[in-house]
Amino acid sequence: MQTLDDLIARGVAGRRVLVRADLNVPLAGAPGAQTITDDGRIRAAVPTITRLAEAGARVIVTSHLGRPKGEPDPRYSLAPVAARLGELLNRPVAFADDTVGPAALATVEGLADGEVALLENLRFNAGETAKDDAERGAFADRLAELADLYVGDGFGAVHRRHASVWDLPARLPHAAGGLIATEVGVLRRLTENVERPYAVVLGGAKVSDKLGVIDHLLERADRILIGGGMVFTFLAARGHRVGSSLLQEDQIPAVRDYLRRAEERGVEFVLPVDIVVAENFPDPETGASANPETVPADAMPEGRMGLDIGPESRKLYAARLADTATVFWNGPMGVFEHPEFADGTRAVAQALLDGDAFTVVGGGDSAAAVRLLGFDETAFGHISTGGGASLEYLEGKTLPGLAALED
């Protein structure tokens, strides 16, 4: 796999370099007046873009944002991202309000050496995510006409077989950007010659989203700590009632099998011993919930839903992380966006900082929680930009966006 260093060493001055970044950031507010609530992915893209611009390249940045239906949708415009990217780069960023149309062509044509442009949302074009190879390839052809070289640096999208990730590198000389090189290097530390004890903390809403990675980690991890909405399927598999909590009943047999296999292999599954429950999910406007209280995990009352791990569980999880050498964390322990139910997620983050382990925060909501709860990002070993991509890598899957960058 060619690196950014390799590309720059061969000379990029005056050449059009298309960078496939991942600028899929959360936005708040009405179209035209949106604000970015977490700019972590934009900041992660800055080093590669800066290096190319300083080497004299004409940098064309592309990305998706959200899930538009293959046509323009003002709710998912990258215009606010262009403004923030310019602030972080400390240089103007030209913005084209289409991706391969007249505005994109004119914007790219107007770039001078060392200048940067951002094209509108890739997913405003049906060809970006098309299942049909010909349709996807036709869109990749139009993107390729805009550039001389390709740099893949959108790690959060490398598990997608999309035009800008899979098809485009085949049409241009290509290299991996600095962010992808860093992400892959970190994930190798979680899969090859791992320092032990190796603990994995998994949370989030649905256990079905994590089945593949749990299956893979049963062969590799020493401890697996479970929280978030998915924990209630584990508690149900242990025979406990879970009230009105999120539960995937169809996954109970699979979870029971994981628990059995873990015991056979000596892998420790750590489940909460107490749960913070309430009568309803937090109100989206006020964040309030009805009558929160802490109950034993094996005695959850009917009509109450679990929204966080309890104080004794936080102590337990911190203790089971204290002596580790490597920790991978993906998924919050509760509804961390609301202060009443953020303490479990906060406790896990703090436990990672208190120990001496190499810590990897696996993107998505975990990375958002680190920032929302006010932790110093630089204190962690690595904060990934790709939750889904990280999980699929740990499952041992071939990621299309990485395979496309191989020579």
215 is in an annotated binding site: no
The residues near 273 (Cβ < 8 Å, ≥ 6 apart) are 296, 297, 310, 312, 313, 316
What tokens does 87 get?
């602030």
Q: Is 22 one of the annotated binding-site residues?
A: yes
Cα dihedral 42, 48, 51, 53 in deg (nearest 10): -60
Q: Is 38 annotated as a binding residue?
A: no
Q: 98: annotated binding-site residue?
A: no
Q: Is 64 annotated as a binding residue?
A: yes
188 marked as binding residue: no
Residue 172 marked in a binding site: no
Residues serving a catalytic function are 41, 206, 364, 388
User: Which amino acid is it at 376?
Assistant: D
For 38, the token pair is 């977490």
User: Is 65 annotated as belonging to a binding site?
Assistant: yes
> Is 41 known to sit in a ligand binding site?
yes
CA 328 – CA 200 distance, rounded (Å): 5
Which residues, 6 or more positions from 330, have their beta carbon under 8 angstroms from its beta carbon? 200, 201, 202, 203, 204, 210, 213, 361, 362, 363, 364, 366, 387, 390, 391
Is 160 one of the annotated binding-site residues? yes
* Cβ count near 270 (within 10 Å): 18
The span from the CA of 81 to the CA of 126, in Å, is 21
CB-based contacts of 158, cutoff 8 Å, min separation 6: 152, 165, 180, 386, 389, 399, 400, 401, 402
Residue 66 annotated as binding site: yes
Say whether 123 counts as a known binding-site residue.
Answer: yes
User: Annotated binding residue at 243?
Assistant: no
In the chain, helix, strand, coil percent, each to 5? 40, 15, 40
Nearest to 42 by CA among 230, 170, 179, 232: 179
The answer to the question of whether 210 is labelled as a binding residue is: yes
Is residue 356 annotated as involved in ligand binding?
no
Helix axes 364-372, 387-394, angle to 10 degrees: 130
Beta strands in 140-250 (DSSP E): 149-152, 174-176, 198-202, 223-226
Is residue 366 part of an annotated ligand binding site? yes
Phi, psi of 203 (to 5 degrees): -140, -155
* Residue 90 burial (CB count, 10 A): 8
Asked whether residue 193 is marked as a ligand-binding residue, the answer is no
* Structure token digits, residue 256: 């029971």
- Asked if residue 175 lies in contact with residue 218, where contact means CB atoms within 8 angstroms, the answer is no
CA distance 201 to 360: 10
Helix (H, G, I), strand (E, B) or coil at 280: coil
* Binding-site residue ranges for ATP: 210, 306, 337, 363-366
* Binding-site residue ranges for substrate: 22-24, 41, 64-67, 123, 160
* Binding-site residue ranges: 22-24, 41, 64-67, 123, 160, 210, 306, 337, 363-366
* Binding-site residue ranges for (2R)-3-phosphoglycerate: 41, 123, 160
